[in-house]
Structures are given as structure tokens and as C-alpha cells.
Structure 1
């Protein structure tokens, strides 16, 4: 069963939960072959019921000790633009659609999404363009994310500090 996993991390992003569970967005997911939507809603005030999204099987929860298994099982991850959530999904090799909260001031999330999009690691949109993005997105353009080279960085530091 093709699954979408959506996470808002530990924050609150009710607008994203509302947007993805609207009939139009659910229909766009269904048209792409997705049959199941799993929502991690964080601290938000919304916790949609399983029957609140008639076009797709819906599950929702607030928090778990780890969402790694949800990400692993997903065919598509939709995430808020928090760095931790983005890196966890990209590190798992999953196609990622980031939804930027354009209501935040001094929006570092937009900077992160733009940079990772420029490198072809993810797609991004806002809540107001989510349904259109779900309908038109081309996941085949995404490139795998290469995790940081910690050994190279450690060697650089050793040389810089005169330890090697």
C-alpha cells in the first residue's frame, strides 16, 4: 500500500494538517496512487479522526519515541521545514516534499528548503500551493542526499590544529 508520511516534528503546524487533509489534497494523493496517509501532528490542536479524510486511509498521532520506522515505510515524506526532520527523511533516502510555514518571521526554513531544492534533494511549497504541488510534482528529478563526511571533517580539524 503506497504510503505518505507527514511530520511536523515537535512543533505545531495546524495549517499543514488542515491543508493535507482537505478533499482536494487527498484526491491529488489518491490520483498518484497513494492509499495511506500517516500524520505526526506534534503539539498542534488538530488530531484528525481516521474517517475525516474519505479519499485515503488516514492515521494520526502526536508523538512517538522515534518516527524512523514511519519514514522507512513511507513512499513519500511530507515535512515541515525543520532541519532535523528534513535530514532524517533525506538520510533515509526518501523522496521529500517540504512545506514551508510562510507565516514565520525571519524564515530560516525557506532558506533551508531553497538550498536543498537547488541541489535537487527535495521539492518544497507552502500550504497554499500544496495541492497544486501534489498534483504536478515530479519525484524523478530528486537526487540522493549524501550525508556529511565526518571523517574528512575530523581530518581537516586534526591538520588545522597541528595534530596530524
Structure 2
């Protein structure tokens, strides 16, 4: 059963939850073969019930100690543009569609999403373009996000401080 996991992190992003549960969005996901939708709604005021998405099986929760298992079980992750959520998903090797909250002022999230998009690690959109993106997205263009090499930084730091 193909699964989509949607996360808003520890914040609220009602517009994302509202858009991804519309009949148009769920139909677009079903047309791509997805059958199960898991929503992590955070502090948001929208808490869809299990009958609200007729096209897909729906599971909803606010918070868990860890969403790592939800990410691991997902065939697609749709996330807010928080750095932690993005890096955890990319680190798990999962296809990622980031939805940037364009209502935030001084939106640093757009910069992160755009850079990772330019590097072909994820796709991104805004809530107003989510449905069109779901219909048109091509996940095959994404390239793996390679883990960092902390030893290189440690070696540089040791050399810079004269420890080495």
C-alpha cells in the first residue's frame, strides 16, 4: 500500500492540512497510486476525521516522540519547509515535496527549499500550487541527498586550532 506522510513539524500550518485533504488533492494522490495518507497536524486547528478523505485511508495525529518511522514507511513525504523535517526526510532517502508557507514574513524557508530544489533533492510549491504540483510532479528527477562528512570539518578545525 503506497503511503504519503504529511508533516507540519511542531508548528501549525493549517493551510497545508486543508489543501492536502481536499477532494482534488486526494484524487491527484490516488491517481498516482497512493492509497494511505498519514497527517501529522502539529498545533494546528484543523484535525480531519478519518472519513474526510474518501479517496484514501486517512490516519491523523498531532505529535509523536519521533516521526522517523512514519518517514521510513512513506513512499512520499509532503512537509513544511522546516530544516529539521527536510533533512530528516532527505537523510532517510525518501522523495520530498516541500510546501512553503508563503504567509510567513522574512521567509527563510523559501531559501532552503529553493537551494535543495536547485540541487535536485526535492520539489517544492506553495499551498496555492499544491494540487497542480501533485498532478505534474516527476519524482524521478530527484537525486539522493548524500550524508555530510563531519570528519572533514573536525580535521579542518583541528588544523585551524593547531591541534593536529
Does the TM-score normalized on the shorter chain lie above 0.5? yes
May I ask how many residue pairs the two structures share in their alignment? 164
1:54 counterpart = 2:54: yes
User: Where in structure 2 are the equivalents of 1:11-160 lying within 5 Å?
Assistant: 11-160=11-160
Runs of 4 or more, structure 1, over 2 Å off, are none
Take 1:160 and 1:93, find their aligned partners in 2: how far apart are those partners?
33
Greater displacement, 147-156 / 108-117: 147-156
Take 2:23 and 2:11, find their aligned partners in 1: how far apart are those partners?
24
Question: In the TM superposition, what is the alpha-carbon distance from 1:148 to its structure 2 partner?
Answer: 1.4
Structure 2 regions of 5+ residues with no counterpart? none
Task: Write out per-residue CA displacement over residues 21-62 of structure 1, whole angstroms, 9 at most, x where no aligned residue.
Answer: 000000000000000000000000111100001111111000
Report SS of the residue matched to 2:105: coil
Task: Write out per-residue CA displacement over residues 117-142 of structure 1, whole angstroms, 9 at most, x where no aligned residue.
Answer: 00000000000000000000000000
Q: Normalising by structure 2, what TM-score? A: 0.99
Take 1:131 and 1:55, find their aligned partners in 2: how far apart are those partners?
15
Q: Normalising by structure 1, what TM-score? A: 0.99
Take 1:148 and 1:161, find their aligned partners in 2: how far apart are those partners?
22
Question: In the TM superposition, what is the alpha-carbon distance from 1:147 to its structure 2 partner?
Answer: 1.6
Take 2:99 and 2:12, find their aligned partners in 1: how far apart are those partners?
13
Take 1:43 and 1:147, find their aligned partners in 2: how far apart are those partners?
30
Task: Write out per-residue CA displacement over residues 69-107 of structure 1, whole angstroms, 9 at most, x where no aligned residue.
Answer: 000000000000000000000000000000000000000
Report SS of the residue matched to 2:65: coil
